[in-house]
Amino acid sequence: MSHTFATEDQVRVRVPAKINLALCVGAQRHDGYHELATLFQAVSLYDDITVRASEELVCEVRGEQAHHIGPGDENLAYRAARLLKNEYGVSEGIHLTIDKQIPVAGGMAGGSADAAGALLACSRFWDVDASLEDLMALGSRLGADVPFPLMGGCAVGLGRGETLTPALSRGTFHWVLALSSTQLSTPEVFQRFDELTGHHPPPTTPEIPRELMMALTTGETKRVGAQLINDLHEASCSLAPTLPTTIRAGVELGCHGAIISGSGPTVAFLVDSEQEAQHLGELLTSLEVAQRTYHAVGPVPGATVIDDHRPHGHLMDPVPA
């Protein structure tokens, strides 16, 4: 495979964050991971991944939290590009630029989203004949949360969360995302979960509440809000003691439901409309129980190409229309 690159050649992909409407944790497996049953929803908080020609594989990160993200193997997007390059025998390098908005270590799969975006952007730029399913399979080798940002929408995740099935959903859900200055490590949260449940082991096969799945299909906000569940709640709160105060404030201010996303510390509050979301966000910020708030809607599509100026030649579309 050989291309002549022009300076304007680039592909930009926009990839969404996720929240977990349910995160049900089962017993620890032989490989050290836990069996999970989770209900993902992609929401409108995005990172942009731009790729350009380079002789080597290079990754730079922009944004307020860029200093929290390491280079090379510490960066999941870099590892995703390298995996795709090796898997398809690509000789060229690539320059990855990540414009970050999704919080780092916030429980919203920001690193996984970047990896998903890198897989899609690089496959386009390098003219790799890879389907969406191919990219998702590669993503699962990088991390359990990587396939979902490629799929988007709503999905049930089983196993470690990487085995996905699209979930029926109706309507648009409005969320207030309360961000924290605290960062939580997913392995540390699961370790605390194991400590807290030591005398009461979780079920071998966890299940998402049926009522939540039914509420999602009807689009009834109040019903969905009442069924939100995260088995890591206690563990995350024990490591980030300000979380209960943030959650209590949102509930007292009238949201339909509140949930820590993933391992936290981002808290998602469900409301009825954009106007209510803006109002709640302002109140949470003024009460100083959130460092910053965002209004986001879900479900939204998965990783999407928003700018495409590729090298000349026949170009394959890796994602079926």
Any idea which residues carry the catalytic annotation?
Answer: 18, 145
CB-based burial, 107-128: b 16+ in 10 Å, e otherwise:
bbbbbbbbbbbbbbbbbbbbbb
Closest CA to 259 of 229, 235, 291: 229
Measured CA to CA, the distance from residue 72 to residue 83 in angstroms comes to 12
Q: Quickly list DSSP for 99-126.
A: E--SPTTSSS-HHHHHHHHHHHHHHHHT
Q: Chain-centre distance of CA 217, in angstroms?
A: 22
Measured CA to CA, the distance from residue 196 to residue 174 in angstroms comes to 32
Question: Residue 57's beta-bridge partner residues?
Answer: 94
What residues have CB less than 8 Å from 178, skipping those under 6 apart?
246, 250, 266, 267, 268, 269, 281, 284, 289, 290, 292, 293
What is the sign, positive or negative, of the torsion defined by CA atoms of 12, 13, 16, 17? negative
Strands 163-166 and 304-309: unpaired
Structure tokens at 32: 């050290």
Closest CA to 158 of 217, 229, 206: 206
Structure tokens at 125: 């730029």
